[in-house]
Structure 1
Amino acid sequence: MRLFFSCLFLVSFLNVFSQEEMAPATEAPKVKIDSLYREDQFYFAITYNALNNAPEGLSQKKFSAGLSFGFLRDMPINKNRNVAIAAGLGFSYKNYFQNIAITGTSDAPIYNVVNYSNVNSNKFTQYLVDFPIEFRWRTSTYESYKFWRIYGGIKFSYVLFDRSVYKDSEQKVTIKNNSDFEKFQYGVYMSAGFNTWNIYAYYGLKPLFKSAKTTTESIDMRTMNIGIIFYIL
């Protein structure tokens, strides 16, 4: 009888030991991916507006400011949802201080490069509706809103309203909806940064004017906007 109980105790001990040895290791927790996570965002940009490919003698002595704002709809294209395409709608205000005097009328404007010393004020302003389409890469997750991003794409714009103001000691000329301005604009852009603060650059691929000319050459200027852009969820 004593031998029987000894064998039974030995079998039970070996069985417990075997179960402890064969217990599977605990699996590492899996990272959750929210299948509905998107980076739909409002944006707001502040820029300096430079004029490229300008006629001889043109200069910009004052700060030419620009403002843009709008909304972008995010459409992820990979499983981790950190690569996406976005499309949106926005509005822009662009102001250009420079020394090309625009006189005459909206249907028959006249362009002359003038000396700044003889000018009290000279600028032209545009108000545009924007349609950006961009490719997006970021390090975000649905649990973290602080991440690195690189966004780039193309922006189509339509000039809703434009105005130029030229003022010297003898006259003040205001022209609205100049027929020489290209109504339809487009260009490429890129933004990059971390969290809220991001640098932004846009280059217009289409000239600002259709066929405007000074007394010596055609005006084939394009715009370059450089500044910062904020994204708000």
Structure 2
Amino acid sequence: MRFVIVLLFVIFQSNAQVALDTVPNSRYFEDQFYLGLSYNFILNHPEGSNQRNLSYGLQGGIIKDIPLNRKGTKAIGIGAGLALNSYYSNLVADISGDDITYSINDDITRSKLETHLLEFPLEFRWRNSTAEEYKFWRIYGGIKAAYILGARSKYDLDDVNEGFNNTDLTKFQYGLTLSFGYNTFNLHAYYALTELFNGNALVNGETLQYRPLRIGLIFYIL
């Protein structure tokens, strides 16, 4: 709720600034679709745990551009999108009835946690673009809030293949974002400020404190 209030405040303040700065034919918008591909690092592993295979992330959505000055080089971006993130490791999640248990198994063939999220990026945008120039340098930094729509844990061990909907995750998540680049191709990073699991997930008596770090490419499309 606090995030929604802050978001509305930013929108109203930005629109007020735009109204003050408006000059006929000088203002333009960078309304954009975005697509991203990332490698997902897992920070804060418990003892004996490590990443395996290729942990990847996909994201896509649209961002509304709100210019803050006459030149359009500074703006606020507010958007919404969807994301899929997978995390492979030797951490095995299993379920019995309503109880989810966790263990570390180095003999596991594959163990994956997959999340599906509804995301809400909020960016402060700097770029050296003009109303006529569509190839430009950009630096976009901000915060991204997300709500986990669903999460699934799965593992393969010998002839056993198990999967289930995992409810031990923190539903509302947020983190810092930074995008930097030229034209369509840009480097992108996301650092989570919330832990992936809620306090119910334990392994060897230790609370799981996984925190994602995602680094990859993001493509902005007008």
2:120 aligned partner: 131
Distance 2:127 2:96 in 1: 49
1:169 to 151, 158, 168: 158
Which residue pairs with 1:14 in the alignment? none
Amino acid at match of 1:210: N
Kept in 1, the 8 Å contact 2:103–2:203? The answer is yes
The alpha carbon displacement at 1:105 in A equals 4.1
Counterpart check, 1:42 vs 2:30: no
Tell me, yes or no, if the aligned pair for 1:33 and 1:142 is still in contact at 8 Å: no
Query: How far apart are residue 33 of structure 1 and its match?
Result: 7.4
Equivalent pair of 1:106/1:179 in contact (CA under 8 Å): no
Instruction: Give me the TM-score of the superposition, normalised by structure 2.
Output: 0.86
Query: Residue 183 of structure 2 is aligned with which of 188, 195, 206?
Result: 195
Aligned residues: CA RMSD: 1.5
Unpaired segments ≥5 residues, structure 1? 1-31
Q: Report the Cα distance in structure 2 between the residues aligned to 1:107 and 1:144, rounded to whole angstroms.
A: 57
CA distance in 2, matches of 1:147, 1:206: 33
State the alpha-carbon separation in 2 of the partners of residues 34 and 194 from structure 1: 25
SS at match of 1:210: coil
Deviation at 1:227, TM superposition (A): 0.2
Which of 85, 89, 100 aligns to 1:94? It is: 85
Question: Greater share of strand residues, 1 or 2?
Answer: 2
Provide the rounded CA distance (Å) in 2 between the counterparts of 1:99 and 1:106: 23
Q: Given that residues 107 and 179 in structure 1 are in contact (C-alpha distance below 8 angstroms), is that contact kept between their aligned partners in structure 2?
A: no
Determine which of 70, 75, 79 is the counterpart of 1:84.
75
> Contact 2:27–2:71 (CA<8 Å) still a contact in 1?
no
The one-letter code matched in structure 1 to 2:160 is Q
Q: 1:57 aligns with which of 48, 57, 60?
A: 48
Cα separation, partners in 2 of 1:120 and 1:217, compared to 1, 3 Å: same
Corresponding position: 1:220 with 2:192? no
User: Matches of 1:81 and 1:217 in 2, distance apart?
Assistant: 50
**Offset of 1:120 from its aligned partner?**
1.9
Contact 1:44 1:69 in 2 (8 A): yes
Q: In the aligned structure 1, how far is the partner of 2:24 from the partner of 2:135?
A: 17
- Deviation at 1:175? 1.4
Secondary structure of the structure 1 residue equivalent to 2:206: coil
1:114 deviates by 1.0
Q: Is contact 1:106–1:175 with CA below 8 Å preserved after alignment?
A: no
CA deviation digits over 1:44-83, x for unaligned, max 9? 0000001001111111121111100000000001111110
Percent identical across equivalent pairs? 43
Pairwise CA distance, 1:119 = 1.4
Match of 2:109 in 1: 120
TM-score, normalised on structure 1?
0.82
Quote how far apart the aligned CAs of 1:34 are: 3.1
Q: How many residues align?
A: 199
Residue 24 (structure 1) aligns with = none
Could you say which residue in structure 1 is the equivalent of 2:14? none
Q: Which has the larger radius of gyration?
A: 1
Summarize deviations over 1:169-222 as a string: whole Å, max 9, x none: 25322111x221111110010000000110000001000111111014110110
- Tell me the secondary structure at the aligned position of residue 30 of structure 2: coil
Mapped to 2, the partners of 1:43 and 1:106 lie a distance apart of 41
Mark the CA change 1:106 to 1:164 in structure 2 (over 3 Å): closer, same or farther.
Answer: farther
Q: For residues 107 and 124 of structure 1, do their structure 2 counterparts lie closer, same or farther at Cα, with a shift above 3 Å needed?
A: same
